[in-house]
């Protein structure tokens, strides 16, 4: 430790410290009332605190990490300051918390009370002892993130280590005065010993009652079960009492019912595992006593949580091998395997082969816009849109969102195999070179540029949400480049794309003599797509054949490109767009007037949440900005949704293109609720669902379609004019009739347009780009 260092923070290897938490803890520690004060001997903290222990929150798990064991015992996951109040009873009653190894330590106080004080190599559970001697405060309004075990064997290993550590503190219990331990400190240590004996004592009670002399075994079994579930069940039952009347009752009672089911199921698990848990507890106690009093060896033996998780077996054979020496029956082994194996938390039906093929075709048709329309004539920048009715009109302007989606689409095209690595490098490097020449303001690209001249369009404007979109997409593209650098010329995706292209061509080629005009046009474009895909992949093969060292050269170019994209993504300064009074982002900034817009992005269900997270991660705005975003809840059946400004799918789904919104989070639930509401509204109006901002059937004097936001009224906070929905629906019907006859429509980057689709998907497909 550097001299004069006032504090150090200690965390486990699997613990995450969210942004701003360290600053908050240092601020609390610096308060005069919290400064540690030592007694006359200088070996005991008599007031203030030497340690600050934050609350430990459990993160939301990924969908593919879900296990029943984690669901049973992890409790509430995520950070939810609105519905989950945290309290530490020892802090509330005795003004001292319990140290669990994660917190802020006052270096001077810790050195004064612990140096040469504790026996070397004998204290395994040092947290409780250090917190007792140096005086620990529980800071419940500051949280750190640490995962709970997903596997039953990992949890058992952790409890075994904790039990050994608690019993190795027995010498300190016998000589409390030597270490300045008070009665409450002794109680905490004894309470841990009592907790470790619960399973063995409960098992002993059941064995004694088998004789029938004390009580019926069934009564004893019921008492043991009640002991395990009493606390969790009481908490779950209290959850059935609403705190106010304006709640989504169906959603509220469903969540309370899930908590009750979890409490009861957890008790059943404890009861079923009573025998192995008793054996593990007695083994830990025996090892601790033997090592402490006899051998004096292996006192600090332990396995990290990450190592235990890596060694855990999720297949049945692995569980059987691990427990082969334990006296447990096959049913318990099956149960251990069942609750510890990973499964998908989200119960959505997987796509069928036909649906996957169809969506891949839609994606390929969408890539056609970028493939045909992005080139040197437009300085390798994507056009805003291509309109081909009543005649071809390419909008030679672009925005940061368009650019970001294009660069992300290039990476996706390589992953699908539609282009090779050489073309990916050529496209991304050319676009990056253009971006470095464009006019910017404090790292932000302007909202609109002329793609042919590269000049910013007047009035020059910085859009907060567009800047965030571009930064997020650049980071995703950078990561794609790094992953591709591991194997630059892997041709499996390309071969698969060529095979899929031939499969799409076969039905049209089989009836080529009887094709209609529309089908002939479609065949022409599919043949062009096939030739483009084949040529791009052939370019990779030829480069690798002609230059054997091409692979490391391409890998170096990809890594350099990824670094450049990441650096560009982090250059915008978001601080001047932020209102410190309202803790919200302004919609934008007018460069010529040096003035921020009066409006704000004030909703969580908004496309701007990607910008918010990036700005927080970059450190330009404080974490409290996320809490300031409005959460306007509403009920959709037994689910709770969030309202957006216009009720469009764009606001809900756009950030999720590059953001991970975990299963069970409010954003995950809000997006699903919005989808359900869109489907219900579309069914009532007899239109396709997935309504969002788009072009519509109104044109200017150049016959270019106009663009406006559209959404579902029940999802929207704004007042929707009564005739807007009907007008939108009529416009869509008129356009659909035109499209069916001419197969022509407007395509924007990221929008998918075309022929009628299966009822389950709200997309159209283009026939020309």
Kindly report, residue by residue over 174-223, the tens digit of the pLDDT. Answer: 888 888 899 999 999 999 999 999 999 999 998 888 877 678 888 899 99
Q: Tokens 């009066």 sit at which residue? A: 598
What is the average per-residue pLDDT within 159-181? Answer: 91
643, 632 Cβ separation under 8 angstroms: yes
CA distance 25 to 313: 38
- Token reading at 368: 């056609």
Neighbours of 213 (CB within 10 A): 7
Q: Which of 136, 179, 183 is nearest to 41 (CA)?
A: 179
Neighbours of 482 (CB within 10 A): 16
Average the pLDDT over each of 66-75, 168-177, 312-321 and give the range with the smallest value.
Answer: 312-321
pLDDT digits (tens, 9 = 90+) for 506-529: 999 999 888 898 899 999 999 999
Examine the pLDDT at 661 and tell me if it is beyond 50. yes
CA distance 62 to 60: 7
Confidence of residue 498 (pLDDT cuts 50, 70, 90): very high
Examine the pLDDT at 612 and tell me if it is beyond 60. yes
Spatial CB neighbours of 445, under 8 Å, sequence gap ≥ 6? 400, 403, 435, 438, 466, 467, 470
Q: Tally the residues of the chain.
A: 769
Element (H, E) at 463: strand 461-463
pLDDT at 215: 83
pLDDT digits (tens, 9 = 90+) for 458-469: 999 999 999 999
CA distance 623 to 583: 10
Please report, rounded to a whole number, the percentage of residues in the chain having pLDDT higher than 90.
52
CA distance 107 to 94: 24
Measured CA angle at 488 (ends 482, 489), to 5 deg: 160
Spatial CB neighbours of 274, under 8 Å, sequence gap ≥ 6? 199, 202, 203, 206, 224
CA distance 173 to 185: 9
In order of 19, 444, 472, 571, 589, the CA distances from 618 in angstroms are 10, 14, 12, 10, 20
Average the pLDDT over each of 303-312, 520-529, 692-701 and give the range with the smallest value.
Answer: 303-312
Task: State the pairing for strand pair 51-57/136-146.
Answer: parallel
pLDDT at 310: 66
Confidence of residue 766 (pLDDT cuts 50, 70, 90): very low
Count each helix (H run) and each strand (E run) in the chain, helices first. 27, 24
**Taken in order 163, 167, 172, 176, is the CA torsion positive or negative?**
positive
728/187: higher pLDDT: 187
Element (H, E) at 635: strand 633-636
Terminal Cα distance for the chain, rounded = 63
Spatial CB neighbours of 742, under 8 Å, sequence gap ≥ 6? 389
Surface-to-core class of residue 618, CB atoms within 10 Å of its CB (0-12 exposed, 13-18 middle, 19+ buried) = middle
Q: Tokens 């039906």 sit at which residue? A: 349
Spatial CB neighbours of 469, under 8 Å, sequence gap ≥ 6? 400, 401, 404, 405, 607, 610, 611, 654
DSSP code of residue 379 = T
**Taken in order 16, 22, 24, 26, is the CA torsion positive or negative?**
positive
pLDDT at 555: 95
pLDDT digits (tens, 9 = 90+) for 218-257: 889 999 999 999 988 998 888 888 777 766 777 788 888 9
Q: Which of 373, 389, 458, 384 is nearest to 694 (CA)?
A: 384
pLDDT at 1: 66
CA distance 371 to 757: 24
Supply the pTM of this predicted model: 0.84
Phi, psi of 195 (to 5 degrees): -65, -35
Confidence of residue 348 (pLDDT cuts 50, 70, 90): low
Q: Which of 124, 119, 201 is nearest to 167 (CA)?
A: 124
Instruction: State the chain's mean pLDDT as an integer.
Output: 85
- Token reading at 59: 């993160």
Q: Tokens 């004030």 sit at which residue? A: 602
DSSP code of residue 136 = E
CA distance 762 to 477: 26
Confidence of residue 50 (pLDDT cuts 50, 70, 90): very high
Long-range contacts of 155-160 (CB under 8 A, 24+ apart): 155/69, 155/73, 156/276, 156/277, 156/280, 157/303, 157/308, 158/305, 158/308, 159/280, 159/281, 159/284, 160/280, 160/283, 160/284
Q: What are the sequence ranges of the domains in the chain?
A: 1-65+74-148, 151-312, 349-570+585-599, 601-769
628, 584 Cβ separation under 8 angstroms: yes
CA distance 185 to 190: 9
Neighbours of 166 (CB within 10 A): 24
pLDDT at 84: 47
Please report, rounded to a whole number, the percentage of residues in the chain having pLDDT higher than 70.
85
443/304: higher pLDDT: 443
Confidence of residue 698 (pLDDT cuts 50, 70, 90): confident
416, 466 Cβ separation under 8 angstroms: no
- Which strands sit side by side in the sheet containing 584-586, from one edge to the other? 578-579, 584-586, 600-601
- Token reading at 405: 């989606």
What is the average per-residue pLDDT within 410-415? Answer: 97
Phi, psi of 47 (to 5 degrees): -155, 165
Q: Which of 74, 230, 78, 206 is nearest to 152 (CA)?
A: 74
What is the average per-residue pLDDT within 710-722? Answer: 81
Surface-to-core class of residue 319, CB atoms within 10 Å of its CB (0-12 exposed, 13-18 middle, 19+ buried) = buried
Element (H, E) at 7: strand 7-10
Average the pLDDT over each of 146-155, 205-214, 484-493, 730-739 and give the range with the smallest value.
Answer: 730-739
Long-range contacts of 330-333 (CB under 8 A, 24+ apart): 332/272, 332/273, 332/275, 332/276
Average the pLDDT over each of 200-209, 337-346, 651-660 and give the range with the smallest value.
Answer: 337-346
Average the pLDDT over each of 76-90, 295-309, 453-467 and give the range with the smallest value.
Answer: 76-90
476, 408 Cβ separation under 8 angstroms: yes
- Token reading at 323: 């427990």
100, 127 Cβ separation under 8 angstroms: yes
What is the average per-residue pLDDT within 96-112? Answer: 93
Query: How remote is the C-alpha of 254 from its chain's centroid?
Result: 24
Q: Which of 437, 436, 426, 470 is nearest to 558 (CA)?
A: 426
DSSP code of residue 501 = H
- For residue 119, the number of C-alpha atoms closer than 13 Å in the C-beta half-sphere is 14
CA distance 601 to 712: 19
| Local structure of 521: helix, strand or coil | helix
313/285: higher pLDDT: 285
CA distance 260 to 233: 6
20, 618 Cβ separation under 8 angstroms: no
Measured CA angle at 607 (ends 603, 612), to 5 deg: 70
318/245: higher pLDDT: 245
pLDDT at 723: 57
Spatial CB neighbours of 390, under 8 Å, sequence gap ≥ 6? 703
| Local structure of 274: helix, strand or coil | helix
Upstream peptide bond of 617 is cis (omega within 30 degrees of 0) = no
């Amino acid at each position: 430790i550097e001299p004069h260092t006032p504090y150090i923070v200690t965390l486990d290897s699997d613990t995450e410290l969210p942004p701003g938490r360290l600053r908050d803890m240092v601020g609390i520690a610096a308060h005069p009332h919290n400064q540690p004060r030592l007694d006359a001997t200088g070996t005991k903290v008599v007031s203030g605190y030497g340690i600050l222990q934050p609350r430990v929150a459990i993160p939301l798990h990924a969908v593919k990490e879900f296990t029943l064991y984690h669901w049973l015992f992890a409790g509430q996951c995520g950070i939810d300051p609105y519905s989950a109040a945290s309290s530490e009873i020892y802090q509330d009653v005795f003004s001292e918390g319990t140290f669990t190894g994660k917190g802020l330590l006052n270096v001077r106080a810790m050195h004064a009370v612990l140096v040469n004080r504790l026996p070397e190599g004998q204290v395994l559970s040092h947290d409780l002892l250090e917190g007792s001697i140096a005086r620990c405060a529980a800071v419940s309004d500051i949280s750190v993130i640490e995962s709970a075990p997903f596997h039953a064997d990992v949890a058992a290993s952790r409890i075994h280590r904790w039990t050994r550590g608690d019993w190795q503190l027995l010498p300190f219990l016998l000589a409390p005065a030597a270490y300045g331990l008070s009665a409450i400190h002794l109680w905490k240590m004894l309470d841990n010993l009592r907790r470790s004996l619960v399973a063995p004592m409960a098992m002993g009670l059941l064995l004694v009652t088998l004789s029938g002399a004390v009580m019926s075994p069934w009564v004893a079994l019921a008492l043991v079960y009640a002991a395990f579930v009493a606390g969790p069940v009481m908490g779950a039952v209290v959850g059935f009492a609403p705190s106010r009347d304006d709640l989504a009752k169906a959603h509220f009672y469903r969540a309370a019912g899930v908590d009750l089911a979890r409490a009861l199921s957890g008790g059943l698990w404890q009861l079923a595992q009573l025998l192995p848990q008793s054996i593990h507890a007695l083994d830990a106690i025996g090892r601790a006593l033997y090592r402490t009093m006899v051998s004096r060896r292996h006192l600090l033996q332990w396995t990290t949580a990450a190592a235990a998780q890596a060694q855990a077996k999720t297949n049945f054979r692995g569980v059987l091998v691990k427990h082969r020496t334990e006296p447990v029956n096959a049913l318990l082994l099956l149960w251990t395997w069942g609750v510890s194996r990973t499964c998908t938390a989200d119960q959505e039906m997987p796509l069928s082969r036909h649906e996957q093929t169809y969506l891949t075709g839609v994606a390929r048709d969408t890539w056609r816009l970028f493939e045909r329309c992005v080139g040197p004539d437009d300085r390798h920048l994507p056009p805003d849109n291509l309109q081909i009715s009543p005649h071809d009109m390419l909008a030679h302007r672009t925005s940061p969102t368009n650019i970001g989606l294009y660069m992300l689409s290039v990476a996706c095209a390589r992953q699908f195999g539609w282009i090779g690595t050489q073309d990916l490098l050529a496209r991304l490097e050319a676009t990056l070179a253009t971006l470095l020449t464009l006019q910017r303001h404090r790292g932000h690209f302007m909202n609109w540029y002329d793609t042919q001249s590269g000049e910013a369009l007047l009035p020059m404007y910085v859009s907060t949400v567009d800047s965030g979109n571009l930064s997020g997409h650049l980071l995703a593209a950078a990561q794609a480049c790094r992953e591709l650098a591991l194997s630059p010329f892997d041709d499996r995706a390309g071969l698969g794309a060529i095979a899929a292209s031939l499969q799409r061509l076969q039905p049209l080629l089989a009836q080529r003599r009887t094709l209609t005009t529309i089908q002939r046009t479609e065949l022409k474009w599919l043949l062009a797509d096939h030739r483009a895909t084949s040529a791009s992949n052939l370019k990779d093969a030829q480069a690798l054949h002609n230059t054997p060292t091409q692979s490391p050269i391409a890998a170096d170019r990809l890594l350099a490109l990824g670094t450049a994209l990441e650096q560009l993504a982090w250059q915008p300064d978001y601080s001047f767009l932020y209102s410190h009074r309202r803790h919200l982002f302004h919609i934008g900034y007018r460069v010529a007037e040096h003035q921020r817009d009066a409006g704000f992005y004030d909703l969580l269900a908004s496309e701007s949440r990607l910008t918010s997270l990036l700005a927080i991660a970059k450190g330009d705005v404080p974490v409290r900005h996320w809490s300031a975003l409005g959460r306007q809840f509403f009920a959709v059946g037994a689910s709770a949704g969030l309202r957006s400004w216009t009720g469009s799918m764009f606001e809900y789904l756009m950030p999720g293109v590059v953001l991970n919104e975990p299963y069970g989070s409010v954003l995950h639930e809000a997006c699903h609720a919005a989808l359900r509401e869109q489907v219900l509204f579309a069914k009532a109006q007899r239109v396709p669902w997935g309504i969002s901002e788009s072009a519509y059937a109104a044109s200017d004097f150049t016959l270019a379609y106009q663009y406006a936001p559209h959404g579902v009224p029940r999802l929207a906070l704004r007042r929707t004019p009564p005739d807007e929905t009907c007008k939108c629906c009529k416009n869509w019907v008129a356009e659909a009739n035109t499209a069916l006859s001419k197969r022509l429509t407007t395509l924007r980057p990221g929008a998918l347009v075309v022929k009628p689709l299966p009822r389950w998907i709200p997309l159209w497909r283009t026939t020309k780009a």
